[in-house]
Structure 1
Amino acid sequence: MSAGRLLDFDAAADAGAGLAGGKGTTLGRLRRYGLPVPAGFVVASTAYADFFAADLHAAAKAAGHEADALAALRRRIAAKPLPAALSEALADELRRRGWETTPLAVRSSAPMEDSRRASFAGIHHSVLNVAGAAALADAVRAVWASLWTPQAVAYRTRLELPPAAAAMAVVVMPLLAARSAGVAFSCDPASGRDDRLVVSAVRGLGEALVGGLEAGEEIVVGEDCFDERIAILSRRPARQRSAIVADAAGGTRQQACADGGEILTDADALALAALVRDAANALDFAEPWFDLEWVQDDTGFHLVQARPVTARPWHTYPGLAGQHAIWTNGNTRDVVPQPVNAADWASMRRLINLYLEQGYRLAGYPLLPGAQRGALFSGRLYLNVSFIQWEGFDALGVSPQAMNALLGGHHAEIAVPTVRWRDRLRRIGRLVRYLAGVAGRRRHGRAQAAAAFADCRRWRSEDLAALPDTALGERLRSLFAHVRRQDGLQFLQGSSGGNLHTLLEAVDKEFPGEGQALVAALMAGQEASVSAQQGYDLVGLARIADAEPAVRDWLRAGAPHDPGRLPADSPFRAALAAFLDRHGHRGVYESYLRSPRWRENPAWLLSTLADLAGVDTAALAARQQAAADAAWQRLRARLPRWRLALLRKLVEGAIADGNDRELARSAFTAYSEVGRRLLLEAGRRLRERGALDAADGVFHLLPGELCAALAGTLPAAALRARIAGRAVRFAEWTAAPAPDVVIDGAAGIAETFADDSAATIDADGRVWRGVAVGTGCGEGVARLIDHPEAGHRLAPGEILVAPSTDPAWTPLFLKAGGLVMETGGYLSHGATVAREFGIPAVVNLPGIRGALADGRRVRVDGLAGRVEFLD
């Protein structure tokens, strides 16, 4: 192509919006990702810059917003010849493509057009039925001139766009012989629901629909939350008087149409919806909300434009209308601290809603259909705390302040209405329904957990290499659907705060300001959760290793650990096999499908054993019992026996809730280990075929894309392009700081980072106050640990200072003299295990790791929720 002034679509994708404009870049990306985009090319914005020399720049500046002056400028643009080199390049390109007499569509592609900030929908000009080099030159000038209409100038001014936005690339494509055409949204543009797709269709070309001259057929397609299959939910017949159609000579003409009748068959509508969803996810799986123009000819569907939905409404409860959407990672950062890739988001996206809905369904609360409580910002997982606060308040009367304490994080509270007596009665009724059904739901969840471990043990033994490609893809889809249908496990995972909330309120009422610490003491040393038991089992394994000299020396040598080299009759080898049979599905950052499991590679697990052999579990048990006894003694001194009996029931319930939550987490992790095996098998096959450089590239793919790749309907080049694009973005996410809170409001997105959070700090910066989740006081050297694999740096009795924790951190809790965590609330994993082990712990202290030097002595006061810098 000519000196960078003309770009094919592949070059446009690389060039970016500055040269190819928003439309040209997006079309290039879609074509690269294997989507059906017609052939075409882009006249780069540099050609416009060459043409729009100093004389026209001066005229544009002088014109301002004056309509007559702008009209004069447009006439000058239309009359000015193109540079000779550009005219020759356009003619050569038409000859090279055999398009000298082909009718063309010539469309605008300004740098910020079709972007998330500005759509420019209907602002700039398109020219249809352009044939020949001379007509193409005229059409290019007409598109350039549309930059200077009053509406275009006003639009740029209103959005406060920089002067560079007044530039223009031009997209040139063949004019397709359309049977039908239209616009499709990958979300519902009216409600904002992202489990809906909306298709608008007219007969012939879509210009009348896009221009608002005709009302086409509207088809709403819904997505099933379990298996993500789509189905038509509704149709609104077309009210189309005329259609723009291609005539016999390849031009266009208007043709009269009868009202009514289906324009797209059900099969075509579903095929188009699937194409739209795939295109939106290919462009941005984290925010897949796009408005796409499409054309259907005798060969099928084609995409001719894609732009982000720039003003997607927040689909919310009426009680939250007018308020901002508040997003926090104060709870999710505990177990999902790193960016999420496509495979993980496919499993999390709907599962988060199912976790958080089960308790309200049991209570009979009318949930908002299609509510989305999870989102990605900077690639990290955030929860919509506005929804969580509202549902807790509206359903059961839990105050936003109390919900924040359970969740952790420093975010605002929503505004709630005055409670009326009718509201109280409804909440009492829901609470009664919940309490009547909760025992059965918990039994159901525990049964599903047992079935999960049994099923996963059986599935792990399956020879995946023997499965045909189609069966492998279907197995992956069915696993995702199966996990989403585990309603009992979801109940255990997402509805474990009721007893704890009630217990906290009851104790804090009697001991204001001490409720958190006393409850942590009351819950210490009771029945161990699966996460705590994993720690105890690891200590037992360490003692067996320490008692076997050859194993002890082998572990301390620091060489790569291969248990297969141990003697067959080694007691440690048998104990390790038993440990991995029970806990081998766990791993470091196990919430991610991409993370290896201990069963795959136990090296990190083995590296922890040398430090754990000396852990005094008897002293730990004594400390737990002493904390619980002291707390009960205080309660007995103040409360009557009947109140004590009620509190004991609440403590038992809160402990069971926490243990069930950890059990569900373990069961879901077992399922994810199976999913990881399926994904890696698919990756192995695609790598052998040359479609992937490495098998772990599959973690950048959505299940539908992976199935299409296995079936051969997604070409290898397109597969590689999607993975490459996402890998670059994942690296950008990893390097970017994650905000503590995100506010999505009328003025756009506002982010609050931990460094300027609402952490409570004394004036001299020596005392930080957070949420007390573990009992007692501890004093020692602060050890800042960034990752559980660096846990060897933590000496027994030192204070563990972590950004967040998941079950892989549990061995460190056994050594720590106290815990300080930047994130987390009363329901976080770190809080649960700290309470069980009875160690002093304070969480929800964003920014403390930046203020605290490694090796400085601190005092952790788990009674008052204080961390004091001592030296």
Structure 2
Amino acid sequence: MNVIGLDRVDAGMVGTVGGKAAGLGEMIASGERVPPGFCLTAEAHASGTVPADELAAAYERLGGGPVAVRSSATAEDLPDASFAGQQDTVLDVRGDAALVEAVRRCWASMDSERAVAYREAAGIDRADTHMAVVVQRMVDATVAGVLFTADPLTGSRSRMVVDAAPGPGTAVVDGSVTPDHHVLVDGEPAAAIEGGCLTAARLEELRAAGRRLAEHFGSPQDVEWAYDADGVLWLLQSRPITTLFPLPPDTGKPGPRLYLEVGHMQGMLRPFTPMGMDCLTRIWVRWCSLHGIEVDPREGASLLTPVGGRLYLDLTDAMRSAPVRGRLPQAMEIYGPRVRRAIEHLLDDPGFAPRPGLPFAPGPALRLAARILPTTVAHIAATIARPERARARVARALRDFRNQPRPGPEATAAERFAFVSEDAYAPILGAPMMAVIWPTFAGIILGTLPSALLHGVASADELDAVLGGMPHNVTTEMDLALWRVAGNADDHRALFLGTDPAELTDLYRRGALPDIGLADFLDVYGHRAAAEVDIGVPRWAEDPSPLFATIANYLRVDDPDQAPDRRFDEAALRARRTISELSLRGRARRPVRGRIASFAMRRSRQLTGSRELAKFSWLIPFAEMRRQLLLIGEDLVRRGPLERADDVMFLTLDEVRAAVHEGADHRSLVTARRAVHDREVRRPSVPALLMSDGTDVEAILPRPETEEGTLPGTPAAAGRATGRARVVRDPSGAHVEPGEILVAPTTDPGWTPLFMTAAGLVTETGSPVAHGPTVAREYGIPAVICVRDATREIRTGQVITIDGTAGTVTVESDGPTRPGRGR
């Protein structure tokens, strides 16, 4: 079958007729007014021959005359790829010969440069895509345009956007005219523009059509429309708006609601796997239960909300609390100036008008504080007084984490599941974790105390220098250990520099690589990885490819002054000198504060590095949980409910239980969730503040004024550096030349090995106390964080200057320069 009428097409035929035709068929079936037409199916494209006779016959049945010929690819209008404007449309086609030529033109556009680039960016295989062609009777339009049933710029589902211009509408789509622009807000009547081409009545008609289409297709729509000379509205096309971030779930609580994305504080902007989100939420729920906080396990914690695979914190009650809301902007400073500005903006929103009372029940909070505060104060004080004893307790706790009882090789899937769902949480929530928590808290307090005590006495650069080259930090120890492994690889430079990391991993697994000490490194650090807080992400022990890529980076360091161990030692020496200088200056100007600050700075050298311990520790049993889940997955593959062992990471624990104990088949569910996850992995940006109607709050704020070529951010590690940018969105296999400036969406400890060859760091998110900036300060490299759209505004190879004190990034040029770093 090569030709089929649009009135016989439905959504189930998308593989034959493509997304555009399938959408038109659905619109016709739902009663919308669509120009009549037919579809030349993808089967004809697969054969490569235009069936001219069939086309002519269908054209004649349509009544001849002018028609529009539109591409309709079988990959078009997928949930994350609309192909809008990527393939050809030919208008006002008349006659059989012109129709055949228009079809050939549509077919050819499938391999145009822009279409190829779009498929590559969307991860769509050319072999999986074919081209159908839609032929429709032309509408003699007096006015036409596009309707978005949600605001494509802000994400708001409470606003529709209409662009309109006189004529056929192609000028609106191709951007060659400035159209009339209308925003239709829910609950507000439409208003015409004086001298515009749409009346208020027509705007309301378009709004009603948009609502019907969004409801029918189950998602916000991008609609092309036209009014003919008789004033009749025709709907020419409807496709999903694929760029919108998902809506928060409807909790049934009064709106509007405001959500803060918190995963990036752990370097986690990519989406969690379903198992990763489930396990992390269960840890939080168990912690709350352990401390007498009532939580509905079905919702996770009442404040935590998964959206688009990311973790959001519900700030609504705090925004509405009269005693709390005024302090929120300052509290949000840790998330960067953009978040603070957004919070300040929303404080004037009537939807967040202040109400009396606190955002939490004071009784349980006071009881919790009374129970844990004395113990917390006592343990932190003891840790500060005797740091060497605290470190000895940490060492014992780490042994407990590593020696945790676990199911043996002969364990059944049911026994492994019991471990993952119950026993594995014991060290994470028990005594071993407590032994690690106190040095972590003490380290954070000591690291921040001097800035308060020496305000007006010490500069930001000096306070950052105090934190440089910090000992006892498991993350910097890890990076330096990998540097030593790279030193062992120096005798085999050609092998490690000239072989793909994936191939090196295969050689390593087969025991065919020279022994460079990697096995010993993995014994200690193999439970780590980028995005490691997601249990669904492979650990380095499973896939050491990122480590081989980093080893190759280290082998390219040919300047002794750029050697990471030397840079770390220099930062430590500078820290000790700065502490001595500040101690003398502080005592001279403020005797009491100066002495306290001097003690805090010197003691911080023994404890502040411990701030990384808590995460390092609980990831040890977390990695064991992952290993047991994969073994369960292997069992389920043998029994049939799963296709692959790692499919288990796209289920929740309750779903795994059903598969293990009841044989529930989850293969189709996993396929659907993998598709959603893959789509979210490709998402270029994630809202930091999200409203319940989908509005990205930052998108409605005016951009701050800055000098041309300068991108504002937040200071995170003092100093200046000029060098070529290296934009990296995923650290796996990333390549950073010595002296380049790393530009990334976010960072966590899995990224930090890249720091050791970088001259500086720029990230789109983060906090000065997060892992990435902390490690940057310890290496003595400048860092600027919270630079909006940094990975899109900056291109690899551009020369940039970062000022970690001012918090700015300046794009200098695209020309050559000698990369370097400085302070």
Q: Name the TM-score, length of structure 2 as normaliser.
A: 0.58
Partner of 1:35: none
Residue 619 (structure 2) aligned to one of 669, 679, 692? 669
CA gap 1:627/1:473 in 2 versus in 1, 3 angstroms: closer
Please give the residue correspondences for 1:694-733 in structure 2 after superposition, counting only pairs within 5 Å.
694-714=644-664, 716=665, 719-733=666-680
Letter in 1 for 2:801: R
Partner of 1:267: none
Partner of 1:344: 276
Contact 1:328–1:385 (Cα < 8 Å) also in 2? no
> CA deviation digits over 1:574-623, x for unaligned, max 9?
x3222111111112332222222222232331332243254252343124
Residue 808 (structure 1) aligned to one of 750, 763, 775? 750
Contact 2:258–2:316 (Cα < 8 Å) also in 1? yes
Residues 1:781 and 2:711 aligned together: no
CA gap 1:313/1:518 in 2 versus in 1, 3 angstroms: farther
Q: 331-340 vs 527-536, which deviates more?
A: 331-340
Partner of 1:471: 415
SS at match of 2:724: strand
Partner of 2:334: 406
Partner of 1:530: 474
Partner of 2:120: none
CA gap 1:822/1:634 in 2 versus in 1, 3 angstroms: same
Partner of 2:769: 827
Contact 2:401–2:617 (Cα < 8 Å) also in 1? no
> CA deviation digits over 1:414-437, x for unaligned, max 9?
7699999xx9xx99x989845345
Contact 2:380–2:441 (Cα < 8 Å) also in 1? no
- 2 CA distance for matches of 1:413 and 1:496? 29
Listed as ranges, the gaps of 5+ residues in structure 2 are 1-5, 14-25, 33-148, 150-155, 159-203, 217-245, 348-353, 558-562, 814-823
Partner of 1:734: 681
> CA deviation digits over 1:333-375, x for unaligned, max 9?
65212111210111122445778999xx79x9x9xx9853332
Contact 1:528–1:836 (Cα < 8 Å) also in 2? no
Q: How many residues align?
A: 576
Contact 1:842–1:861 (Cα < 8 Å) also in 2? yes
Contact 1:355–1:491 (Cα < 8 Å) also in 2? no
What is the Cα deviation at residue 448 of structure 1? Answer: 7.4
Contact 1:409–1:824 (Cα < 8 Å) also in 2? no
Letter in 1 for 2:569: A
Contact 1:775–1:863 (Cα < 8 Å) also in 2? yes
- 1 CA distance for matches of 2:214 and 2:512? 73
CA gap 1:616/1:678 in 2 versus in 1, 3 angstroms: closer
Residues 1:688 and 2:616 aligned together: no
Letter in 2 for 1:343: M
Question: In percent, how many aligned pairs have the same letter?
Answer: 23
What is the Cα deviation at residue 567 of structure 1? Answer: 8.3
Letter in 1 for 2:645: A
What is the Cα deviation at residue 632 of structure 1? Answer: 5.0
What is the Cα deviation at residue 413 of structure 1? Answer: 3.7
Contact 1:449–1:664 (Cα < 8 Å) also in 2? no
Q: Name the TM-score, length of structure 1 as normaliser.
A: 0.55
Partner of 1:590: 532
Letter in 2 for 1:618: R
CA gap 1:470/1:326 in 2 versus in 1, 3 angstroms: closer
**Aligned-residue RMSD, C-alpha:** 5.4
Residue 556 (structure 1) aligned to one of 471, 475, 497? 497
- 1 CA distance for matches of 2:452 and 2:286? 27
Please give the residue correspondences for 1:14-33 in structure 2 after superposition, counting only pairs within 5 Å.
none
Contact 1:354–1:484 (Cα < 8 Å) also in 2? no
Residue 603 (structure 1) aligned to one of 545, 556, 564? 545
Residue 375 (structure 1) aligned to one of 288, 294, 305? 305
Please give the residue correspondences for 1:267-666 in structure 2 after superposition, counting only pairs within 5 Å.
311-313=252-254, 324-329=257-262, 332=264, 334-352=266-284, 372-384=302-314, 399-408=327-336, 410-411=338-339, 412-413=342-343, 433=374, 435-439=377-381, 450-451=396-397, 453-457=399-403, 463-464=408-409, 466-479=410-423, 481-482=425-426, 485-486=429-430, 488=434, 497-510=444-457, 514-515=459-460, 517-546=461-490, 549=491, 551-558=492-499, 560-561=503-504, 562-563=507-508, 572-573=515-516, 575-613=517-555, 614=557, 615-626=563-574, 629-630=577-578, 633=581, 636-638=584-586, 639-651=589-601, 659-666=609-616
Letter in 1 for 2:639: R
> CA deviation digits over 1:377-401, x for unaligned, max 9?
332223345678999x96xx99534
Partner of 1:188: none
> CA deviation digits over 1:124-156, x for unaligned, max 9?
xxxxxxxxxxxxxxxxxxxxxxxxxxxxxxxxx
Residues 1:751 and 2:696 aligned together: yes
- 2 CA distance for matches of 1:357 and 1:640? 46
CA gap 1:356/1:726 in 2 versus in 1, 3 angstroms: same
- 2 CA distance for matches of 1:541 and 1:761? 47
Letter in 1 for 2:306: L
CA gap 1:386/1:637 in 2 versus in 1, 3 angstroms: farther
Letter in 2 for 1:685: D
- 2 CA distance for matches of 1:833 and 1:777? 16
Contact 1:328–1:384 (Cα < 8 Å) also in 2? no
CA gap 1:507/1:783 in 2 versus in 1, 3 angstroms: farther
CA gap 1:703/1:624 in 2 versus in 1, 3 angstroms: same
What is the Cα deviation at residue 656 of structure 1? Answer: 6.6
SS at match of 1:791: coil
> CA deviation digits over 1:300-319, x for unaligned, max 9?
xxxxxxxx66x3347xxxxx
> CA deviation digits over 1:536-569, x for unaligned, max 9?
11111122222xx3x444323415223366689x
CA gap 1:545/1:680 in 2 versus in 1, 3 angstroms: same
What is the Cα deviation at residue 800 of structure 1? Answer: 1.5
- 1 CA distance for matches of 2:608 and 2:421? 30
SS at match of 2:732: helix
What is the Cα deviation at residue 500 of structure 1? Answer: 4.4
Contact 1:584–1:598 (Cα < 8 Å) also in 2? yes
- 2 CA distance for matches of 1:649 and 1:356? 35
- 1 CA distance for matches of 2:317 and 2:777? 28
Partner of 1:148: none
Contact 1:326–1:742 (Cα < 8 Å) also in 2? yes
- 1 CA distance for matches of 2:395 and 2:304? 24
Partner of 2:171: none
CA gap 1:481/1:598 in 2 versus in 1, 3 angstroms: closer
> CA deviation digits over 1:817-840, x for unaligned, max 9?
111111111121111101211211
Partner of 1:818: 760
SS at match of 2:694: strand
What is the Cα deviation at residue 681 of structure 1? Answer: 0.9
- 2 CA distance for matches of 1:478 and 1:342? 18
Contact 1:353–1:374 (Cα < 8 Å) also in 2? no
> CA deviation digits over 1:217-268, x for unaligned, max 9?
xxxxxxxxxxxxxxxxxxxxxxxxxxxxxxxxxxxxxxxxxxxxxxxxxxxx
- 1 CA distance for matches of 2:585 and 2:450? 18
What is the Cα deviation at residue 760 of structure 1? Answer: 5.4
What is the Cα deviation at residue 406 of structure 1? Answer: 2.6
Contact 2:303–2:313 (Cα < 8 Å) also in 1? yes
Contact 1:798–1:817 (Cα < 8 Å) also in 2? yes
Contact 2:761–2:784 (Cα < 8 Å) also in 1? yes
- 2 CA distance for matches of 1:491 and 1:671? 19
> CA deviation digits over 1:274-313, x for unaligned, max 9?
xxxxxxxxxxxx9997xxxxxxxxxxxxxxxxxx66x334
